[in-house]
């Protein structure tokens, strides 16, 4: 099973100040890494697919990068509504696995 480790676990978010979340895989997964946003009492929402591909309807301030074992989700000029939990997910091999999550709160 591939283990995904996110950092940080928690971060205070200052509006307009760039946020970076990292996800490291226990073995190479190519670009089979996806990012989700989950707001309180909501189901996860797909943000980025295949490490860096944008999703229709997702604000352009969200971007992703990386390949192999190291990946990054960046939120440029975050807004208050971006306070949420963020999860990475690998689909390179079964069973699918998720990172433990990163919780962003408004400072």
Give SS3 for 82.
helix
Q: Does 101 contact other proteins by CB under 8 A?
A: yes
Q: Does 94 contact other proteins by CB under 8 A?
A: yes
Nearer to other proteins, 3 or 106 (CB): 3
Q: Does 99 contact other proteins by CB under 8 A?
A: yes
Count of chain residues binding other proteins (CB under 8 A): 23
Listed in sequence order, the residues at least 6 apart from 68 whose beta carbon sits closer than 8 Å to its beta carbon are 25, 28, 29, 30
Beta strands in the chain (DSSP E): 4-7, 10-13, 19-25, 33-38, 45-49, 53-54, 62-67, 70-75, 84-90, 97-98, 102-106
Nearer to other proteins, 32 or 62 (CB): 32
Catalog residues that contact other proteins under the rule CB under 8 A: 1, 32, 34, 36, 42-46, 49-50, 87, 89, 91-92, 94-101
């Amino acid at each position: 099973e591939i283990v995904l480790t996110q950092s940080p676990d928690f971060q205070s978010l200052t509006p307009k100040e760039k946020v970076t979340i990292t996800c490291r895989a226990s073995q190479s997964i190519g670009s089979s890494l996806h990012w989700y946003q989950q707001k309180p009492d909501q189901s996860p929402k797909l943000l980025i697919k295949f490490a860096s591909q944008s999703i229709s309807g997702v604000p352009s301030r969200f971007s992703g990068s990386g390949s192999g074992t190291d990946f990054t989700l960046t939120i440029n000029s975050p807004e208050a509504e971006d306070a949420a939990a963020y999860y990475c997910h690998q689909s390179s091999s079964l069973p699918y696995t998720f990172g433990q999550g990163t919780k962003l709160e408004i400072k």
